[in-house]
Amino acid sequence: MTSRRDLLRAARQTLAAAGVASPDHDAAVLLAHVLGTSKSGLALVTDVTAEQAAAFDELVVRRSAREPLQHLTGVAYFRHVELAVGPGVFVPRPETELLAGWAIEQAGAGTVVVDLCTGSGAIAKAVADEVPSARVHAVELSEDAHAWAERNLAGSGVDLRQGDAFTAFDDLLGEVDVLVCNPPYVPLEAWESVATEARDHDPHLALFSGQDGLDAIRLLEARGAVLLKEGGVIGVEHADVQGESAPAVFAATGRWQEVRDHEDLAGRPRFLTARRAPVG
């Protein structure tokens, strides 16, 4: 038997030395995962068996190599829903919960909501969970990511499709009330600045979008203009350095009103919103 305290202390030191940003949190989550309990439930654990300690040490080594925490546990939490994640799908980030929250605020009974580039299905599942009366649709291009979304959205009522986000939903042209998207937006030139976990483990299809990072957002502006009904709204996540350039993509075309940017909880530019202007 090994002391829980000793195990966690050693793991925290190992993770911190490897440059993991949250060694205390990650060590506790991994041990709770091995023991089949919650992070708060660890307080009730005194000793850990040799077999459990070995399994924990193996996960700590993998996390030290910067394998995403969520890949090791197989779970990501997003607003009020739990998502299965792993290799081949973008791990949803906490800051995207703000964009999902905006979409949820716009949705209502019978509202048509479309989530483009759905990835794990995080935003679509959150909207369906919190606004069950909305009609939620989602699309994902990657076969691997689509398989994760299919698993996560099973039984949710979400209409999930596989295909190109920027040509999908011809059957909904001019009928969408709320369009939401967390597209790829990392500039290719920013490769070295991307966190190791994302650069080495998230699919590049979900990360990079041309030299300035705005290629997908330009396509999204054009597709959003034909999918949304007049007065419909769009919300788009972007990089924190795109607080002016991303909204400018929408403002420049004359197809949008109320173009504005929103900050995340750390005060960084995080997502833009706009309203489809009347045509003609």
143, 99, 145: which is closest to 119 by C-alpha? 145
Tokens of 116: 């483009």
Tokens 């597709």 found at: 223
φ/ψ (deg, to 5) at 62: -65, -40
Residue 140, annotated as binding a ligand = yes
Are 56 and 78 contacting, i.e. CB atoms less than 8 angstroms apart? Answer: no
111, 5, 107: which is closest to 48 by C-alpha? 5
CB burial class (10 A; 0-12, 13-18, 19+) of residue 26? buried
Residue 185, annotated as binding a ligand = yes
Are 232 and 268 contacting, i.e. CB atoms less than 8 angstroms apart? Answer: no
Are 233 and 106 contacting, i.e. CB atoms less than 8 angstroms apart? Answer: yes
Handedness of CA 10, 15, 17, 18 (dihedral sign): positive
CA distances from 245 to 97, 182, 212, 218, 261 (A): 22, 16, 9, 11, 10
Pairing of strands 75-78, 135-140: unpaired
What's the DSSP call for residue 175?
T
Residue 269, annotated as binding a ligand = no
CA 277 to mean position of chain CA atoms: 28
| Residues flagged as binding site | 140, 182-185
From the annotation, which residues make up the binding site for substrate?
182-185
Residue set of the binding site for S-adenosyl-L-methionine: 140, 182
